[in-house]
Amino acid sequence: MVEIKAEGMNKLLEKIRRKDALVGVLGLGYVGLPLVREFVNGGFRTIGFDVDTAKVDVLNRGRSIIRHIPHAEIKRMVERRRFSATTEMARLKKVDAVLVCVPTPLTENREPDMQFVVNSARAISKNLRPGQLVVLESTTYPGTTRELVAPLLAESGLKPGRDFFLAYSPEREDPGNKSFTTRTIPKVIGGLTADCRRAACLLYGSVIVRTVPVSSLEAAEAAKILENVYRCINIAMVNELKMVFARMDVDVWEVIKAASTKPFGFSPFYPGPGLGGHCIPIDPFYLTWKARQYGMPTRFIELAGEINTFMPRYVVTRITDALNRLKKSLKGSKILVLGLAYKKDIDDLRESPSIELIELLRDKQARVDYNDPYIPRTHKQRRHDLRMKSRKLTARMLAGYDLVVIATDHSCYDYDWIVKHAKLVVDTRNATSDVKAGRRRIVKA
């Protein structure tokens, strides 16, 4: 492939080196907004693009939309005129680099839903100019950038790899992780050409501690899929073992703790009420879908998906069994779900198993409430709309429920206090492992 024109190449690289490049981030969610923060902190001016007018208005007022990014940081970026948000895609013409951080969900048939990537590529194409760098960060199947994004961008009349740079660099965001941030997580980068990769590496290398260049777009896309398939399959394994060991009256968490003492050849994974988040429940199926085009089965992935998808139903079974011991029916029982977020200490409920758990309990005609200190009320999602508000925890309130389910093990919960005042507790996270009093009221699930 013909490399990028030398004049455009040198001009962009020089702007990046001087930190004069204007960076655009398309999609201002849990991936895009932390990326904006790193580029601003690294000395770049940024423009954030999003189709959500309310989100854009909040950010431009100097308010954060993500719990682990303080309001003060957004306010500082806005007041110093290093960041602004907009819904006007025509402003894409002004940026030197646009980083695409939009969702890649699944359809109802568990196939890739590429509408957000397609819409983003079309918006960029309408405003593309020579010498710009376009990077897709959304997790997707190998071949997406070359086979889908590049042709859409080429509708501009400009040729990718010659008139503008095109690269893929998968997001590796982990909301709530205090050990690793966007800046400290190495950035895998693949380019359409060597010059495309070089430009992307220079840009990301200006704000992130380490870049990891790979040979192709597809290698970078596949690396992210591998990371998530690895976790999906191992979590499915311990979820299955949890159900097996429960029949044997063996505590799977104790087993994992013991196995973890081996200093080699073992990495611990932990069971739960199901998979949540924007990656692990979804991304492996992107590879499954793509593999079918090559006539290749992906049996490990599909089996893992079946096990992980079943886990909320398993929890409902354990809840039913626990109530039966008290001669109570699930139908009509009052149940409190503790934790709506997909993991502890965050406000992110994307693909949270707690949502399906609540819906399953409602289907069984249980009376369900929830408490989550980070999510005061639910909002409409693509496939769910619970229309619920978080209930305030009090001793009297806890005692009023037939059963309390610990679905998310937030650190702020006092589990001794919860077990003391609840009639019955179903623990899906091993959150009550250190609770001494009232253990007869605890059921692991």
Active site members: 279
406: β partners: 338, 427
Joined together, the tokens standing for residue 136 give: 């897709």
DSSP state string for 57-121: HHHHTT--SSTTS-HHHHHHHHHTTSEEEES-GGGGGG-SEEEE-----B-TTS-B--HHHHHHH
Measure the CA–CA gap between 429 and 418, rounded to whole angstroms: 14
Joined together, the tokens standing for residue 169 give: 């660099």
What is the residue type of 152? L
Report which of 28, 48, 38 is spatially closest to residue 92, judged by C-alpha positions: 48
**Backbone torsions φ then ψ of 199, nearest 5 degrees:** -65, -45
Joined together, the tokens standing for residue 291 give: 């593999």
Query: Cβ distance 390 to 373 under 8 Å?
Result: yes
403: β partners: 335
Residue 282 burial (10 A CB sphere; 0-12, 13-18, 19+): buried
Measure the CA–CA gap between 281 and 312, rounded to whole angstroms: 13
Measure the CA–CA gap between 12 and 29, rounded to whole angstroms: 27
Rg of the chain (C-alpha set): 24
CA 105, chain centre distance (Å): 11
CB under 8 Å to 115, separation ≥6 — which residues? none
